[in-house]
Amino acid sequence: MIGISPRRRGGSSFTRRAFTVVLLGLSAWSAGFFWFIEQIPSRVEQPETMTDAIVVLTGGGGRLGAGLELLALGRARKLFISGVYQGVEVDEILRAARRAPEELECCVELGHDAVDTRSNANETGRWMAAEGFTSLRLVTASYHMPRSRVEFRRAMPTARVIAHPVFQGNVHIDEWWRWPGTTALLIGEYNKYLIAVAASALAGPNGADTAGAAAARNQSP
C-alpha cells in the first residue's frame, strides 16, 4: 500500500484554503462592484438649492460648462475650479468656455495644486476655510461622484456637499456590461473607491485635512 506523505496532504490542504480565500475575496469584490454601480447618481440632486460655492473638479468633458452655467444662474456666490494646470488663468478658461471674461471673472477662482481626487478635496477644503464657506455643490462626472464624496467628507467633515453629476455621452452606466470601455472605466473607478474608503477609515476621525482649519485660523484677527 502506498501512503500519502504528511507533507503532500498538508500542501493540498493549504491549496484548498488558499483557493477558498481567493474565491471569497472575488465574491465580495463582485458584490461590492454591483453595489457601487447602484451608488452612481443618475440625476442631479436638489438642482435649485443654493450653496456658498460651486466646486468643479477638472478632468472630464462637460464639468466646466456645467459649473459656469450654475454660477450664471446664481446657484452660489463663487465658483472654484480645482486641479487647473499651472499658468492657466480665469480669463483663458472663460474664453475657452465661450463666456465673456467680464461676465463671471469676479466670481471664479482657480486651484493649481491638486493632481488627484484626494488633493482636489484638500485644496478645496483650504479654499473653503479661507472663504468662510460651509456648503458647496460638487460638479464632477457621475461615475466619479462616489469616490469624490468620500474624499470631500474626509477633508471637510462638517461641510454640506450637494452632488451635481455630469453625464458623459461616451460612458454608458445603464448597460455598462455591453461596453468594454465603460466596464474597464468602472472597474478602475471602483478599485480607487475602495482605496479611498480604506484610507479614510485608517485615518480615523482626525483624518480630515487640517490645512483648511489652519487657513481659517490665520484669517482670524
185-205 pLDDT per residue, tens: 999 999 999 999 999 888 765
Which strand (E) or helix (H) includes residue 80?
strand 76-82
pLDDT average, residue stretch 68-82 = 93
pLDDT average, residue stretch 60-64 = 84
How far apart (Å, rounded) are the C-alpha atoms in residues 7 and 43? 59
Give me the pLDDT at residue 221, please.
36
pLDDT confidence band for 9 (50 / 70 / 90): low
User: Cα-flanking dihedrals φ and ψ of residue 136, to 5°?
Assistant: -150, 155
219 has pLDDT over 80:
no
- The CATH code for residues 51-219 is 3.40.50.620
CA atoms within 13 A of residue 219's CA, in its CB half-sphere: 14
Give me the pLDDT at residue 8, please.
54
Give the amino acid at 143.
Y
Give the amino acid at 201.
A
Give me the pLDDT at residue 129, please.
96
Give me the pLDDT at residue 43, please.
93
The domain limits of the chain are 51-219
Please give the DSSP secondary-structure letter assigned to residue 42: S
Distances (CA, A) of 92 to 95, 132, 174: 5, 27, 36
C-alpha cell at 45: 440632486
List the one residue out of 153, 128, 112 whose CA is nearest residue 77.
128
Distances (CA, A) of 117 to 17, 28, 102, 107, 124: 37, 25, 30, 23, 10
Give me the pLDDT at residue 59, please.
79
35-48 pLDDT per residue, tens: 999 999 999 989 99
Give me the pLDDT at residue 91, please.
77
Residue 36 makes CB contacts below 8 A (sequence gap 6+) with: 146, 186, 190, 193
104-143 pLDDT per residue, tens: 778 899 999 999 999 999 999 999 999 999 999 999 999 9
How far apart (Å, rounded) are the C-alpha atoms in residues 107 and 168? 26
Please give the DSSP secondary-structure letter assigned to residue 171: -
Q: Which of 7-11, 65-69, 72-76, 216-220 has the lowest mean pLDDT?
A: 216-220
Residue 205: CB atoms within 10 A of its CB come to: 6
